[in-house]
Structures are given as structure tokens and as C-alpha cells.
Structure 1
């Protein structure tokens, strides 16, 4: 939008399909929303009660700018218990959700024109976040035929003397892919050989349906060159609390702490208390939630396999299905519009996630199976008539 009062940097900005779905969600009274990855699962009642008890006891002030010490200690304990991975208090910072953490990290490590390699399809905000930090995003193509794994040689071919970092997101949004241990090991070797930083966006770690999730930072030699973005939004159904964390070498944490002083100083104290209680109760909280979402995505997979002109890989992780719609002969935008207008089901066109996303739509299984059944029944009618 061009206006004299707007920065010229944003005169050519185009609203993304991800942003547009917010307005579309209210278009029809009977809409089934499979677009944004926001839980229908409510934050655990015990977490809510404990957090608000803390509020009444005085946790309503600024915390340490690195975060509530008790929360950071609990994060350290979590990584020690789950992965045998050691952290110091100076290597952990609480942030206002994963996107806030990513912004701080990119702002802290990038010089003007530095390149960041991002596997495509990618979480839509990455490109804009890199641009805001004056960097350049370089897309690394992945494809369905390879289960959206990263090809080591393709990665090597993209590395230049301006390459600074590689963003990893596994389990992946939007594809649902989980990078294999072999893939992670190969990426680690390339990072060491080329002195690259890995920014590991680990926000769907609980939703891994095959191999157990392993953070790349826990691999030998990777701690010193890995920045981990963690979040409570997905793994604990806490999207509205806006709370996450960054793990990194202490000099990086100190840098992003200083940057954040001019943004919001600290994450909300009440959200940090909720995160603390969620983490300490993770086993009782996560198991039923993950089991439910696993049922949903596998139900969705089975339904899609029976719908003409649609296909999808078996689910590996996250709660998304990245559905191949190429046989319909329609673009991802055209089929998404048709599904919305004729079936009243809201999905996101694959081109929202980069060029490699064309020919796909993303479905978020964030409604119960009864609603999913109705959604797929409606979609099937459309595909039978294309």
C-alpha cells in the first residue's frame, strides 16, 4: 500500500495468503477452518490455575530481562532429562513466542546482505523476518519424492561466501516432514565444514510420530553453532500466551537481550509462570493431546487417500497435511478458493509457503474428527466433479 506516511520499504508489500485467511474465516456461518495452526485444545486447566495463583501472589512485574530464573532452570532441567544436554543459565532466554525469538536472533547475527538458506516449502514469515534483518533468503528446494528431506549436495551448491545461517524446522510446517537422523548428521557436517550457524525452529518437537525428536543442537560439535528456537504454543496448546525461548551460546544471548531492551524488555511474567508449570507437567499434559492430534492427522491421511485427484504422504510429524492437488489441473489458489466457496472449508494454498508449495494445499487438523469428517465429505464432493 502506497502512502506518503508509510515507509517506502512497505509501499510494495503484498498481503500473504496466510494473512488473508484471517478475514476469510468469517465469510460463511458453517465454515470449517483448517487454515491456521491454532489449537482447539485448551491450555491444561492445572497450568491455568497455577499461573493465576502465581499472579495473585505477586508475579505481575517485569522479570529478569533473560526471563524468570525458575523458568530458565526448568528449561535446563528439561533438556538434561530428555536429551542429556547441558545448558547454563546464561545460555537461555525467555521470549514472546517463537517469531519474536527468530526476529531477535536474525537481528543479532546478520550483517547487511548476509544470506540465510531456508528449505522450501517454508513457514511463511521466515522470508519477511530475514528481510527485516537486512538479510537475503536463499530457498533450498525440497520435494515430495524425497519426503521433503534436505539433499546434502543441493545444500552445498547454495553456499556462498555470504552464507551465514541455515534455518531448520522439523517436524516441519507446512509439510509435516521430520528430518531423519542421517539428514541432521549430514547438515551438521556441512555446517561445521562451512562455519555456518544453524537456527533450529523446534516448536513442533512433541508432534513426532515416527523416530523420537532429536534437536540438532544435541549432536556432537553443534552446540557452539546452533541457536534453538523453542515455543510453548504448539507443544503445550498455549498459542495465546505468547511465550517461547532461545537457546544459544552466551554471547548471542547477551546480544539479543540487549536488542530486546528496545522492544519489550521481557516476556510477560504471567506467561512465563504458565510455561514453567506446563514444562514441569509435560508428561501428563502432552500425551493425551499428541495422541488426539495423531488420530486426527492419520484420519485425514486415510480420507485424502480415497479422494480423487488428491494425495498426501503418510504423516511423520506436526498436525499439518500437505496435500498434492496437481491432478485437479487447478493452481493451489484456485482449488483453495473453490473449496472455500463451494465446500465452505478454509485451507491455505501451498504457494503461501514458497514456489515449491505450488500444487499443494495445507490442512491443519485443529478440529475434532467429527468436523474433519464433514470437511472431507464436502471436499470429496468437489473433487468428484472436477
Structure 2
């Protein structure tokens, strides 16, 4: 990838196993794609229709740099009504999806060499995002034996005088684990004791199966130390609209607004209008979708655990299953390739999510039960 016109920091190819999946999706006519977390649901028609009306009446211009004021008020009302938590319209910014929000946040808080602690397995882009912002990612291994919960003592050991923040992602991509409230409280204590920030990726907040979801920022004394990344992509099946938000102290919001002026200024006005209607119909949209994902992940959970040499932890949240393949004797890449070639099933190898993801593959239940049935019928015929 070296070329005289490329910056030296890009000479080493950055493409991950996750990044090449889209090219493989068209390899076979009968491919079953269990790889990317793009919901098979279409955005609710009522959202589409109301947004189209707004397009026709002139909502096609720039919004305020922080985002459509009506949307920010709607987000504020959501947190107040759902969690009895007050967030001011100036303590949030609408962004082009959570990844855009993460980029802005890391640019705002990191100096050269600052460390960010990231529990592993982790959402693949975190590493590149941290390094592009001049930071250093410090991984914290979590294990299936601990249900992929964060080990508090190991977390303490990772903290140095260069640590700036901790990233948590719950419900988690790729493991599907949900951090329990006791763990969250202990993390909050560590953040206070060590004068740190917490960046919390809550993209899958609508899909927690075992206990009610708790936004980290609502924990006592955590508001000033928490940067929340939210998104409409998964909860509302709006991945293509590219709209999310950041909640943080106003000085951080002011900074990321200034950074974003030279990137894209504001999120798409049309998508922001769609987000308003999504919030207004939240319960009607999310609850049926959550129930459908619950059925899918538990169906897949039961099928996987009946297949020799494969196993998986009981689902806790999101719509992913992190399948243990250790008994097959294959690497995660070899296993994904075997499933692709012999069963025409596309998955993500676990090493795409960090070293501790080796010996696993990730399955996304973003297809219906009948398609999942066909997928596992094929997998059952494979000789490991």
C-alpha cells in the first residue's frame, strides 16, 4: 500500500477481516449473510412518510451545527421521561452515526500518547479511531468464563498516569454481553478515584434482555465524567440514515462542534427529522423489534449448543452471538472460511475483534427464523 502520495501513517494496510466481508457477500447466489450488524428490518413506514412530508416542505437545508433543536429537545425529553435524567440541549450534539461521534470525541480529548482502556473483544473500529487521534489503545481482556464481564481488579492494573479514559460498550458488540449494574457502579468508582473520563457506546441500548438498560451517565456523580454515544441505527433500523448523538459536558460539545465544522458541519437535516419521528414512536417501534431479536438469538443459541464442537453463551443483549469454536481445532479465520466454502454462510472471524476473540466467530441474527433454520441445518452437515 506504500505510495509516494500516501501519508506514511497509512503505509501499513488498515483493512481488517471485518472490512473485507462486504466483498464476500456476493460470492454465492444462495449465501446466508450472518456477518454485518445491519438489521433486515426496513425503517418504519410512518417515519419515512413523515420525513418525506418534511422534505417537501423545505427541511433540506443545514441545521444548527449542534443539530436540529427539535431533535435535541426530543432526546432531552426521552432521557427525562425514561430515566428521570436531565440533559440540556447544549450538552448534546447530533452526529453522522456513532462512529462519527467517536472520532470527534477522541479528537477532542486525546493528546499524543494518551491511553484509552478498551475491554476486549471490542468493536473493530475502536483501535483505528484511537490511533488516528494520536492515542494508544490499552486492551483489557474479558473471558467467556466471566460472561465477558469486566474484571475490576484487572481494570485497575491497566491504569497508568497516561490513562485518559475507558471505553465501555454495553450491550456489547461482538459478544452480546451486558454489563450488570454492580459492575457499572464499580467502574464509576474507579473513574472518580483516578480522575478519568468514560466513553460509553450505547448503540444497542434498546436491546437488553436480562435487565433494564442503565445509561452510564445516569449513575450518581458520573454526568461530568461521561461521554455517551447514541445512535438511531440499530434501535430504529435506520442504519442508512446515518444519524446519532453525543451527550457530554458543554465544553466537550463546544469542542467537537468546532472540530466538525471542517468535516461535515452538521448531520443531514432529513435524517434528523426522521430521528424526531423515531423518538416519538419509540415504544411502538423498539418493543416489537426487541421481541423479534430475542426470539432469533435464543433460537440460534439453542441450535448452536446442539451442534458438536460448537457452543455459545446465553444471550444477554444486542443481536449477536459469539460462538466458541475451540473444539473444532480451527482458528477463527479457518472456521469462517470453512462455513463460507462448505455451507455458503458468511460470518465474522473472532480475531477481527482483538486477540482474545480468537477461537470464536460472530454471528448476527439479522435474518428471520426461517433463514436461521436453513443456516443451522447447513452447519449441522459440516464435518469438523
**Equivalence map 1:198-217=2 (5 Å):** 198-217=198-217
**Equivalence map 1:339-358=2 (5 Å):** 339-358=339-358
Tell me the residue number matched to 1:91: 91
Structure 2: which 5+ runs fail to align? Answer: none
Tell me the residue number matched to 1:296: 296
Number of positions where the alignment pairs a residue of Structure 1 with one of Structure 2: 384
Tell me the residue number matched to 1:238: 238
Task: State the 1:14 CA deviation.
Answer: 3.7
Tell me the residue number matched to 2:324: 324
Task: State the 1:346 CA deviation.
Answer: 0.1
Distance, in Å, in 1 between the alignment partners of 2:11 and 2:93 is 35
Q: Structure 2-normalised TM-score?
A: 0.99
Q: Does 1:125 align with 2:125?
A: yes
Distance, in Å, in 2 between the alignment partners of 1:10 and 1:336 is 27
Give a deviation string over 1:38-72, Cα, whole Å, max 9, x none: 01100000001011111111100000000000000
Tell me the residue number matched to 2:281: 281
* 1:361 aligned counterpart, secondary structure: strand
Distance, in Å, in 2 between the alignment partners of 1:9 and 1:249 is 32
Give a deviation string over 1:119-173, Cα, whole Å, max 9, x none: 0000000000000100000000000000000011000000000000000100000
Task: State the 1:320 CA deviation.
Answer: 0.1
Distance, in Å, in 2 between the alignment partners of 1:216 and 1:67 is 23
Tell me the residue number matched to 1:254: 254
Distance, in Å, in 2 between the alignment partners of 1:7 and 1:380 is 47
Task: State the 1:304 CA deviation.
Answer: 0.4
Q: Structure 1-normalised TM-score?
A: 0.99
Give a deviation string over 1:160-210, Cα, whole Å, max 9, x none: 000000001000000000000000000000000001100000000010001
Distance, in Å, in 1 between the alignment partners of 2:270 and 2:93 is 16
Q: Does 1:263 align with 2:244?
A: no
* 2:94 aligned counterpart, secondary structure: strand
Distance, in Å, in 1 between the alignment partners of 2:269 and 2:14 is 35
Distance, in Å, in 2 between the alignment partners of 1:350 and 1:237 is 25
Q: CA RMSD in A?
A: 0.5
**Equivalence map 1:128-143=2 (5 Å):** 128-143=128-143
Task: Tell me which stretches of 4 or more aligned residues in structure 1 moved more than 6 Å.
Answer: none
Structure 1: which 5+ runs fail to align? Answer: none
Tell me the residue number matched to 1:47: 47
Task: State the 1:381 CA deviation.
Answer: 1.1
Tell me the residue number matched to 1:35: 35
Give a deviation string over 1:237-259, Cα, whole Å, max 9, x none: 00000000000000000000000
Distance, in Å, in 2 between the alignment partners of 1:151 and 1:373 is 36
Distance, in Å, in 1 between the alignment partners of 2:89 and 2:318 is 29
